[in-house]
Structure 1
Amino acid sequence: MAAMKELVKGTDRYRHFIGGQWVDSTIKEWIEVENPATEVVIASVPKGGEDDADRALVAARAAQPAWEALPPQARGQLLRDLARLILENRERLARIVVAEQGKPLQEARGEIEGAALYLTYAAEEARRITGDIIPSDMPNEQVWIQRVAHGVVVALTAWNYPAALMCRKIGPALLAGNTVVVKSHEGTPLSALEIAQLSTQLDFPPGVINVVSGTGEGMGAALVRHPIPRLITLTGSVRAGKAIFRSAADDLKLLRLELGGKAPFIVAEDADIGAAVRAAVLSRFENCGQICICNERMYVHRKIADEFTARFVDAVKALKVGDPMALVDVGPKFSKAEVEKVERMVAQAKQAGASVLTGGGRMQGEGFARGHWYEPTVLSVNDNQMAIMQDEVFGPVVPIMAVTDFDEGLRLANKSRYGLSAYVFTKDMRRLMRLVRELKFGEIYVNRPGGDAVHAHHAGLRDSGIGGEDGKYGLEAYFQKKTMYINYA
């Protein structure tokens, strides 16, 4: 069997993982993977296309019937074993994530632990794949409703959490009896390929897990268009989600689309200001603000706005930015295109009347000559219709706006095409109970920073997507139901 990678001109060149084998692409083109902190090319991967997509999907289809025939507990045990190997290789995998994505090492270690947890949680559900037996209207008959696999699942993941997002998808997909073809974002493909390599140490049948690389427009589009997969699960941009929606329509494929967010952070006048400041900082600047559930816009009651803003700005100024392999709070932006986007958005906000309270430009000085660095930035705004309040930044910039009362905060928070996550700080139970009905977001964090639970449910409304991930409701997406009428007369 060919190796996972080979050394070409001093740099690792990876292969696709298809049908249990490391195989070369039929297209002799490669994508260079860059370290965001240094702009140094650290590896290259195949720029796969339609032939590679077809090979991977055919291999997955061939492996699926036997995989589904295994008892769920046996499938779950293999997921547990893969989680164990991931944890045994935590440090090596975390350093790969830092090198390809740019997050600080301590955060990357947490990501790898999260990747293993997604697999372990899925495995724990093996004994809870239940159906229903219901009475029939006919004599001597029962109606059985079974949950069965879809067949082949295509998993497309984003660049902000390449290892965790892969496992978030393959865990429930495989536990349900599906086989998978994974394509990570072309900028962060290495951790997924390395996890595939770990799976070769276990008894996964060939073709159950397939990992390919390529661009979204090339390999990703080919996987979505192909007639074999029944379910497409994406974590990515709204633009990508809408393109997949259109492409999948011809074959009526099922979709789970976890897209962008523009999370409001509402601080009432009775909030614990210290707790709210700490949560606001963590929920905005973790992973350089590159998380779909990040605090993206802040609404603070005018009675406490001055105190809150002063303490928040001081905390942001204290953040340490630098080499993600060191002990820092904020690393680089993921790519040149991403940092240029943030730069444009801040310039447009300033032109529209926003004031810069701290930051507002690229990092300067020693250590920042190369790489994609942007200062942690806080803007003061007074117009909710400004682009910086409506468009996803996905970076270390947050606007803050004073509001007259809690009702105005709720009203402005809901004025968004996004509906993924929201944050609210208040001690008033009556206000908290109103959130269930009035705050139109799929995930609400009350008096705490962000961070979803593996056994809960992560789903967005409006442009933030359809379907959802995690917990029993997320697992349900990877099954379809089959009804059998059993007449024993």
Structure 2
Amino acid sequence: MISTLTKSIYINGEWLEVDESKTQTIYNPATLEPITDVAYGGKEETREAINAASNAFPAWSEMTGRQRSRILYKAAELMRKDAKRLGEILTKEQGKPLPEAVGEVKGAAGFLLWYAEEASRGYGEWIPSSVKTKRMLVVPKPIGVVGAITPWNFPSSMITRKLGPALAAGCTVVLKPSPETPLSAIEIVKIFEEAGMPPGVVNLITGDAQAIGEEMLTNKDVKLITFTGSTAVGKYLMREAADQVKKVSLELGGHAPIIAFEDANLEKTASLAIASKFRNNGQTCICANRLYVHESIADELTALLKEKLEAMKIGSGLEEGVELGPLISEKAVEKVEAHLADALEKGAEVVASGNEWDGDLKGYFCPPTIVKNATDDMVVMNEETFGPLFPIQTFTDEDEVIKKANNTDYGLAAYIFTENTARTLRVAEKLDYGMVGVNDVFPSVPEAPFGGIKQSGSGGKEGGHHGMDEFLEKKLISIAIN
């Protein structure tokens, strides 16, 4: 039973009252029980938020980087101190196991900490002139109001990975979180509020995704839209933004391969492959989607994968020891089931399927499954499943497996397992991906650039010092001195 209506629209430093006739219910995907209601905002609220961000921009952008950094430092500290409570909220609305959720919150705080440090490092440039009577400066200036659209699979860290650099650069923000997971966004905005963020600098709108997005696209005061989500939506944003030549920064889908060569450390490979594939129950854009294994180690590695998968506990993310929670929706479960049915029809064989979850749970649970004998014509080998289905295909030739790994429109992340230094460099350079992990499946850290190529992304990288680039315009100042 719903006990509260949660204020979820924050504009110009004020939480707006929730109109009970314009609300949506947020459910726990593990139990299907309602958690709370939040406001269902639209174009009008978004326009008001953009106006507030536009009005706040001059004062915020004219602050020194050090002044902005103090607020980001404070927000990072508050988030880390409250990580357990924030993790519990995240688990209730999204489903991932509590240790994963707490880890995500701490990682989200890490992005705020990193960009608190970067806020004072928006360096310009002095260009030596070819003309004796000229001096030329390149000055970085914040782009303006940013529309940030974030996904449900990482509802805390995807927010701070966008807002951290935007705020550090001097931009103001209108944030639209996923309709499935607005509660983490609400808590993050409360943290900014407690940290002393001036009114209008950060604004939050929950509700009608299409109406909110359309206002961001058509409103001339929004200078950049930064989006993480599906490639289909990313393409839509690119098309619509073209009318104003509005800048877009897109982090989109992936179809990450793992290649395990004959000299791979089998225990390490099995452990990390399972950790990658079944993190957040396969609902990550950089998780392993297909596993290519050299035929000489295929039987042994497959046996290890089976052993590790069958030891994993499935259930509500708030239960002790649970490693696999629910998927986000019934539609997500149906997609995994369709990919599995297609694979089995085309000759795949089930190697392992996870233990049954608690029978009392009525949520969106789906058995984690590993299949072997995967072929190139299977849907799972070509489309992002975004769920707990792991196909295995064997190979013998290095050039052949690189070609197979690259044969996709996606180009976000790829992974290789080998103990050979020469092979590491050779294969990593040939893989057409924005990120390549070598004996490592967790490339996302605050200090490193994150992003893909091909249809996995457009615009600048997120993370590292590169993360501020999208939020800064470079202005040339040419000075005649005679």
How high is the TM-score relative to the length of structure 2? 0.96
When residues 430 and 486 of structure 1 are mapped into structure 2, their CA distance, relative to the original with a 3 A threshold, is same
- Deviating more after overlay: 444-453 vs 106-115: 444-453
Gaps (5+ residues) in structure 2?
A: none
Aligned pairs (5 A) from 1:12-27: 12-24=5-17
1:104: which partner in 2? Answer: 97
Matches within 5 A, 1:323-472: 323-326=316-319, 327-359=321-353, 364=356, 366-367=358-359, 369-467=361-459, 468-472=461-465
CA distance in 2, matches of 1:356, 1:368: 26
* Partner SS state of residue 456, structure 1: coil
Structure-1 separation of matches of 2:122 and 2:257:
37
CA distance in structure 2 between the partners assigned to 1:408 and 1:368 by the alignment: 47
Give 1:42's aligned amino acid: I
Secondary structure of the residue that 1:192 maps to in structure 2?
helix
**Corresponding position: 1:165 with 2:158:** yes
Matched, 1:233 2:226: yes
Following TM superposition, by how much is the alpha carbon of 1:50 offset from its aligned partner in structure 2, in angstroms?
Answer: 0.8
Structure 1 SS opposite 2:468 = helix
SS at match of 1:457: coil
Q: Distance in 1 between matches of 2:182 and 2:206?
A: 7
Deviation at 1:9, TM superposition (A): 5.7
Please give the TM-score of this superposition, normalised by the length of structure 1: 0.95
Structure 1 residue 71, shift from structure 2 partner: 0.4
Which amino acid is the alignment partner of residue 201 of structure 2? V
Q: Helix, strand or coil for the counterpart of 2:153?
A: coil
Question: After superposition, what is the alpha-carbon deviation per residue over 1:34-81, rounded to whole angstroms, capped at 9, x for unaligned?
Answer: 101100110122221110110010000000010011000110110011
The amino acid across from 2:323 in the alignment is D
Identical amino acids, percent of aligned pairs: 39
Q: Conserved in 2, the CA contact under 8 Å of 1:25 and 1:48?
A: no
Q: Is the 8 A contact 2:2 2:34 kept in 1?
A: no
Give 1:26 shift: 8.1
Superposition deviation, residue 343 in structure 1:
1.4
Task: Give the superposition deviation at 1:365.
Answer: 5.9
Q: How many residues align?
A: 480
Q: Tell which deviates more after alignment, 195-204 or 474-483.
A: 195-204
Q: Which amino acid aligns with 1:199?
A: F
Q: Say which is worse superposed, 423-432 or 411-420, in terms of deviation.
A: 423-432
**Structure 1, unpaired ranges of 5+:** 1-7
SS of corresponding position for 2:425: helix
1:51-200 pair list within 5 angstroms: 51-200=44-193
> Any conservation in 2 of the 1:224–1:248 contact (CA below 8 Å)?
yes
1:48 corresponds, among 41, 47, 50, to: 41
Question: Which deviations, in whole Å up to 9, do the C-alpha atoms of 1:249-299 show, x marking residues without a partner?
Answer: 111111110011110000001111111001100011111111111011000
Q: Which runs of 4+ in 1 moved over 3 A?
A: 24-28, 363-369
Spell out the pairing of 1:260-275 with structure 2 (5 A cutoff): 260-275=253-268
1:135·1:141 contact (CA, 8 Å) conserved in 2? no
Query: How far is 1:167 from its partner?
Result: 0.7
Residue 27 of structure 1 contacts residue 47 of structure 1 at CA under 8 Å; is this kept in 2?
no
